[in-house]
Structure 1
């Protein structure tokens, strides 16, 4: 073995020996720490460890072992001489590894600032103890926020032996403090924002304590209260000057919040300090203390006056809209085009025949109710409107559940809802009545055209024989022939007068200007007068007339005798016209309870069943053929119905069909007078002895004036004529007539002014003035009466009535 090998062997032995001694030293140190050693021999010296010292040492050991704070001891050179288990855990190193090492080998201490370290050292030197916060950076790189209490260790002579560090990990506390600081800052920021909102909000924020005093009020209250916030704090609402009703409402809401801990709401009206009326909506929110009790109530009051006005206007508008829609029977609908679902009103559903709301409705449901003949057109128009984004309007027929047909008019407009879906909103109305009215108007227009054509025909018919008769009268001097043709002229003229009278009656009745002149009328007399009126037409057509009339003075009605005669005559004339030559007509009247039944029956052309409901309509005629022997304007039966209704009666028509004749039945209420003495008045011509009576005839139509004057002369009266207003006044003055027949439409001075001027003269006050005019309405008669006329006749004048007036004038003293 060489010397190197020997050296290596020696070193190995020494190393092994050192390890053994180190292990023994560690075991000894561990035994000392545990208190298992009473004495320690070092070389020739013996160190005794008494039991009390051992117990105290053991107690300190136990306390240090259980401490959660790290405890580290350093000698005066800064070497570690002790670490408790908490320090071992804290820094991740055992005591055996760190004993004798420096502080920096265990951790690096980082101070918040250089001054902080200096302050800490100075305090330790001065006071022997100091506490400070710093950061320990461990060997594994971990950073620990710590709070360190440093105590100076002194020997008996007062010299510093070292330092004892008690290190507490305050990382969690630091994090919590940092979190708290952030929260505090955020809270402060939010409070500033809230304060900015509250101080500048138009709403009134207030906080109320349990005594209902205001501990906070936002500045928004000042314009309403008329005082600053400082004058309102600490006071109740009553002390603010609130009225009893508002105060009572406020107190009730506060009690709900304080006593029940529940949110409450109130809406109130009041007048502010400026005299303006306001409506406020207030929300009251309980604020809880730590024990759960309500310590205050936060009130947020919003001025909703303007919104209330808008809501009121909106409600009024909606009410008017609902009224308009209801009144017009218009329904509303809103169709979601994406989902094919519609919102609809009951008025909408009624347009399709449903009395109750329909749960589900869609475009497909709509199309299913459309009449098949209209469905394609409706679908095409709807699709075109949706594609073009234009308004949709349609009018079509719908089939109701009871299979009846009705007309509807619908329309809609497109819009996009907030969720982006396309909708069409619109209205719908049942226009069945309007369509029927339009059809009735078209039918009436058609009948009007027919009437005008017929009128022209009927007016021309009498003119032809009149013209021919006049030519014959010029060519013949045979008295018999002249009498014959004069009769023809008179008959045709009467026909024309009858046509014009019917037209005038229709006009007056349609305007409600016909007044019945009721009197007690004997039915027998009226029927005989009607037969007399219709006899020429009946005889002309060679009809047989059978009559079964009541005995005179057995049945009376309270009626206008002229109009009643017109009713029966029109029915007889109608039967005469629509019965082929040589037919039969019957007229009967009989009592039925408290009514009289007048029946006119003929063997004429009859009436189709579809025409029966319209036979009394204006301008309706049973037959329109150029071969018909007798004409007519289609207004006679309409006049009959109107006049009968005015008398409180009824009229009806019956027929078994074409060629089977017709029956017209009039029912009128009888008068309750059982007997009646009637002095029959027979028409008499004027007294031929009246030659001393002077009559003034005034007309701007000279032919009319001359013919009437000549007729009066043939009756034995003296006459004079004038053709304008001034001439009439002069003629009246010079001739002093007993009667003046004046046309109203005179040149120079009209007939009304002529009458006034005559009445102004002493000689004209007792003169009988007769107005002669083409106007015969009630207003026209009032005007003539006010001007001083005694009578009013409509052209052409009824000669017999005129003769009666003249006769009465002659007999007056």
Structure 2
């Protein structure tokens, strides 16, 4: 039927052909035209139904896609809102038609102190009222410009709810309609207070650096990885021969530096760029004007993002120091030559003296010495038994009076002796030689030496002395006495000359720097003064040996006392009340091998205390102790020799003060001061031990051993 055909067409755009024909066969032939007409209608109707079905399917698909898009949009909006509300930056959108905010993220309360609702309710003028008065004109001008360009960036100080100002950065965009009328503005506000503070600190730091650099006498330059100068200070103009403006942007090669020096510098720059570690070197440079310079340069890396981006080179002109060093070296070499010559002469004189002393010692073994005294008021005398033997008199006789004694003297020598005696009565002791006549008429020569004794009123009351028969060695003694006098005078003269040469050289060198303000109180002048003190400590030893009875051994305690007093005078501390406490064992004798290094050690330690221990102190005390810790025992030689073998005696020398003490960083094993280095070297020379204590000041304890001759 037609319904079945239509039904087939509606169900599918194409029916099965056989079914269509079968249906058609059932239709009467007379109705086929009507059927064709109906079929045409139904075909059109089926096509319409098909199009409608297809449209319904597409509509269902579109609705499904729309729902998915809505869900995705809703999810994206939720994610975006979550990001905005948890961001440290403030996101906002303002409706420019109503003047109100459509949205303001909650974090605005952390930055401004105002809630998002409070900020959203503020008008543009209310917001501007919270902008710092100094920033408002700039903000207003930039807002006007932003409405024209469609975007803008503002930086201003915003007054928080608590009254404090914070720096804010506002990056925003203006949305306009087709008529170019602004509709909305939206953007991000960020708190840049810390950034601004860092920038201000950086500016202050850069200004400070620039002030220091521009006024520094050192040459300061900054170079990039291509070894081009990014910056140089004015001090670079003289050695480079160019102004700073001419130097910036150029390499050393482009500035005319010779290739060898260019290679030297670039090698050090490359090391710093590669290793990231500073380097220090000395550099000799000849300027374009021909002047020679010596620089001490330190190159340090500058980092950006963990990598070395540039290097900073600081060069100090040490040309003057090099010249001084060369002159000092020359003076030292000349001084060494002079000292060597003087030492050779002294050694020759010393050897001659030793030979003379040997002969004198042998002669003294055969000498006879007697002692006597004379009471000036009573004219009574006393003679020892040896005196009678010398004068050939009977010991049973009374000692002669003064006038009787004069009769024993050779007539030609009586006035000479009498004058010497009268001078002794007036307080001037004598030591003379004169001839005597023995009872048997024999003429002999004696040496007489006296000492005057005084009472409480300082009036001479007695003269005592010794007499030695020097007849047999008189001729030899004349030569020996002359040699002895010459020896002492020569030794004293030569040592004095040597010390004068040393002192004069040091004074000449120091005088060159005396009028230089930058050097006058520097380490150079301090080095000269320390060297002079060391010379004086040695000179004092020779002075004590010359004035004392001993020639080869020094009575150390008096010497130490004089040395300390001299150092206190040298290092005057103004109003500071620095006292000296001495606890020194008496009758301590050292030979030159011990006395000289000990004297220098004491000089260094006392000088160090006087210079450094009492800084900003009104008073203080320096203590020196010297004592025997253990006396060496002596035993006789088993072979029966008269010589004795003695174990060394242990001594302790302690130098301490109650000053500020040495820094905790001070390392006795690795000192940086020449004085302490010298002390350590001399203690090692003595084969001693050095100990440092830091209790209530500083104490150096030195233990050493000496073989004392009995």
What band does the TM-score fall into relative to the shorter chain?
Answer: 0.3 to 0.5
Q: TM-score w.r.t. structure 2 length? A: 0.36
Higher Rg: 1
